[in-house]
Structure 1
Amino acid sequence: MKRILLAAVLAFAVAGAASAAPLTYKIDANHTDVIAGWSHFGFSNPVAHFGQVDGSITYDPAKPSASSVEVTIPLAGLNSHVPAFDEHLRSADFFDAEKYPNITFKSTKVEAAGEKKLKVTGDLTVHGVTKSVVLDVTINKVGEQPMAKRAAAGFDASTTIKRSEFGVGKYVPNVSDEVTIHITTEAIVPKAEASDAKA
């Protein structure tokens, strides 16, 4: 009887370890938004949205330090809802999108930071300049996405950067140097990986 109980406990432990294994999710651009906000002469606080986000997130709930994220944000997806302003932001005055068409982020460290919280440190590259930034991340939900019928994970994240440090400092300080960034993202395990996991 003891052997049977021991075998059952071991089987349960193995199954639990397997279910907690890290998964790699592909970012769903349709449910991902990167929002940058700043102060305009102190009168208003405009925002710009960055869509068409591409990348992957590997998340290990049992060992957050084994998690990682790598993201590409094309400036083609920039949208402030003012077309003329979008073109100005893409111009050489700011992002110089013709020369530097993408913003990228690649994590270098992931740490647990409390219940459903993470701190993600990584290299942010904007305008050809790379700086280390820290994202404060909230884990929204991890589970099966009911429409896709596959494993999914959702996160919100925020940070503040100084745009002048990335060579995008035109009109500072009248237009604020500090830019707040808020990210909301949903990511889903690709079909092939989902099939492998079931197998």
Structure 2
Amino acid sequence: MRSTLIALAALAALSSGVAQAEPATYAIDPTHTFANFEISHFGAAMNRGRFDKKEGSVQLDKAAKTGKVEITFETASINTGTPGFDKHLQSADLFNAAQFPTFKFVSDKFTFNGDKVTEVAGTLTLLGKTNPVTLKANQFNCYQSPMLKREVCGGDFEATIDRTQWGMNYGVDWGFAKNVLLRLQVEAVKQ
């Protein structure tokens, strides 16, 4: 009898160690998620803009320290605050919104330090080309939203990319910068 109880206790201990948390799915909150960019204009000033229309989801398993993200942005939703500049950015010279209406960031490689995401490595598909991009987290947090009554996770991420890797070469011969600072502000609501 005693050996049976010991065996049952060992089996219970083993099975409790096998149980793991399931990844949680989060929907991108479009009111708190933006892709922003900064690019030097002849070294005199910075041109800045953002993309207003986006959708996507995040899967996060805090216990296993893993995650996945897919966010799609509409190129025609670019907003610099100057309509004429927006039209040029949407043209075939740059984002070519007519032929490439979206660009996408996808990742399944999250790096953690404790409970905090510190880096998300994935791919950026822009102008029909896909290249690796690693976004570094400037901050990351999960919190219980008092308004939504659900968990929200998010952070500010950034990477500097060479736009010519995606074939966006406009103005490089005139001295326009190749390097673009991308800032991705993301908040997502647990489903």
TM-score category of the 2 structures, normalised to the smaller one: 0.7 to 0.9
Aligned partners of 1:26 and 1:56 also within 8 Å:
yes
Q: Give distance in 1, aligned partners of 2:171 and 2:138.
A: 33
How many pairs were matched up?
Answer: 180
Per-residue CA distance 1:117-142 (angstroms, 9 max, x = gap): 42211110011111011111245321
Pick the structure with more strand per residue.
Answer: 2
Are 2:146 and 1:153 equivalent residues in the alignment?
no
Give the structure-1-normalised TM-score. 0.81
> What is residue 60 of structure 2 aligned with on the other side?
59
Mapping of residues 1-199 of structure 1, within 5 Å: 21-64=22-65, 66-113=66-113, 116-172=116-172, 174-190=175-191
> What is residue 3 of structure 2 aligned with on the other side?
none
Per-residue CA distance 1:20-62 (angstroms, 9 max, x = gap): 5421100011111211001000110111111212100111112
Structure 2 letter corresponding to 1:188? V
Specify the structure having the higher radius of gyration (Cα).
2
- What percent of counterpart residues are identical? 34
Give the structure-2-normalised TM-score. 0.85
Which ranges in structure 1 are unaligned for 5 or more consecutive residues?
Answer: 191-199
Pick the structure with more helix per residue.
Answer: 1
Which ranges in structure 2 are unaligned for 5 or more consecutive residues?
Answer: 1-5
Aligned partners of 1:113 and 1:119 also within 8 Å:
no
Q: Give distance in 1, aligned partners of 2:91 and 2:114.
A: 41
Q: Give distance in 2, aligned partners of 1:119 and 1:126.
A: 21
After TM superposition, which residue ranges in structure 1, 4 or more long, deviate above 3 angstroms? Answer: none
How big is the alpha-carbon RMSD for the aligned residues of Structure 1 and Structure 2? 2.4
